[in-house]
Structure 1
Amino acid sequence: MQNRIALPLTFNQFLTQADNEYRKQLASIPLFNINKTSCWNKQQKKLFAAIFYHLRGHFINFMWYVANFAPDESTKMIILENITEEVGRDKFSHEKLYALFASECGVDIHDEIVNETHYLPFARKFNKGHLAWLAAHDEDKQIAAFAAYERLDNIDYFYLTACAESLNISQPGMIFFRVHSYVEHFGAVIERLLPIWEHSSEKIKAAFDFIYSHQVQMWQQLSEEIFSLE
């Protein structure tokens, strides 16, 4: 991942190690094995698209929490810029892009928004877990957790794009995944993280450890849920 400003060596080493360990864990999950996902039936494809909507779609609550309790303007502006990009300005919002993918899998995301038909208990626990962690920690750890989540986008969507491609999704349906593979939000948060790393690196380490491990657990549960339909 390319960062906008140079990182201290120790910080860069920490991030590299955390990323590499995370990738190793993802590579062992059946969800990210295209030889397996290419064999999914229609029901499995639909379940993936429906559940994943909730795993990514409720992140707005995470951002809303961080922004509303942030003590400084810079943190608020980072979140607001992220939200602005999500809604797409004069282009399709990420929500609309996801709807294109979901519809190819037989999922109406408007139904998921209103009725939360496939918002399964493990997905609710995943999203509530974020908010509970934020509520239990200070503002430094909150922005660090946000940064960790954003950093994982580039890693996760490398694997998720391959997964979606294995489902024979059309090019319009793939745009959502390709956008998230290349978007770089972590760089916007680095300046906010540097003083935290300098004075209390343990805060950043704790936040990244939570987000990375929480995410791995979620992918494992999603994988188990979908492959249970075989």
Structure 2
Amino acid sequence: MIETTNKLTELVKVIIAEEEAILDQLDVELRLCKATANAEGLKQFAEVFYFIRYDFPRLNFVVGERCGTNEFLWAGLAKNLIEELGGKNGPSHNQLYRDFLSSVGTKSEELLKEPLFAQQFNANWENFCRTASLEEALCAIAVYEIFDQPDYQLFLRVMQEAGVPEYGLRFFRVHAAAEHFEMFEDVVAWLQEQEGGKEAFAKGKDFVVQTQRKMWNGLMECLEKQCLTCPV
């Protein structure tokens, strides 16, 4: 058990390092600081990034439906959805993001327009969750949760630099400290011992890494071109 835990801990460290390397290569933090240095740029980020994070809870349902009656497989997804609702005390993560939108003076979420890169990001995720093997899809969700810490720690620093009020920062604080991969550790550890399990995890991870890199490129290009009306 201890050996398995140590292996998973090392696996998480490797994946975090891989995402941090992408963030460094693309110079995301500096570019995002520049893009959000004024009120309009900050509002644009809030409105555009809404479409990157809003669809994630639904993907848990998509993959969960494929698990059938096997609660061992869907347990992590269910726990993840409870966390999305804010756990026992709330508020939900969606509400925290609405607070962020409000804190920077954006329009209501019903009026936001989804840019093309975000459409592609969400379509790629949905397609993978529906058509990849169940094992690969579960692993992709688990790996995506590992990205929370490096991504949202960066976002938190940038949003603080931009002067976002405290109630607007709560969404980023929650995710910067998240350890949601723990909800999937049992399934991932089990898969690692199954025939083809390591390959399934590798395929799920590769999908997430590649898709995330495309997302960062699309997000930064959209912000730097000030394309609030990016093609839709």
Asked if the contact 2:63/2:130 (under 8 Å) is kept, the reply is no
- Bigger drift between 171-180 and 71-80 goes to 71-80
What residue ranges of structure 1 are gaps of 5+ in the alignment? none
**TM-score in terms of structure 1 length:** 0.87
CA RMSD across the alignment = 2.3
**TM-score in terms of structure 2 length:** 0.86
What residue ranges of structure 2 are gaps of 5+ in the alignment? 228-232
Deviations 1:96-131 (A, max 9, x none): 2112211122223xx32x34x221111011011011
What is the identity, as a one-letter code, of the residue corresponding to 2:75?
M
Deviations 1:6-25 (A, max 9, x none): 53776655543332122011
Asked if the contact 1:31/1:37 (under 8 Å) is kept, the reply is no
Offset of residue 134 of structure 1: 1.8
Offset of residue 176 of structure 1: 1.0
Within 5 Å, which residues of 2 pair with 1:20-99? 20-33=17-30, 36-37=33-34, 40-71=37-68, 72-88=70-86, 89-99=88-98
Deviations 1:121-175 (A, max 9, x none): 1101101101111222111111101101111111211111111112101112111
Map of 2:202 onto structure 1? 205
Aligned length: 223
Offset of residue 36 of structure 1: 3.7
Q: Which secondary structure does the structure 1 equivalent of 2:179 belong to?
A: coil
What is the identity, as a one-letter code, of the residue corresponding to 1:103?
S
Check if 1:214 corresponds to 2:217.
Answer: no
Structure 1 consecutive aligned stretches of length 4 or more whose deviation exceeds 6 Å: none
Asked if the contact 1:54/1:123 (under 8 Å) is kept, the reply is yes
Map of 1:196 onto structure 2? 191
Asked if the contact 2:20/2:150 (under 8 Å) is kept, the reply is yes
Aligned with 2:142 (options 147, 161, 181): 147
What is the identity, as a one-letter code, of the residue corresponding to 2:210?
S
Map of 1:180 onto structure 2? 175
What is the identity, as a one-letter code, of the residue corresponding to 1:104?
S
Aligned sequence identity (%): 24
Asked if the contact 1:34/1:162 (under 8 Å) is kept, the reply is no
Offset of residue 39 of structure 1: 5.9
In 2, distance between residues paired with 1:214 and 1:138?
17
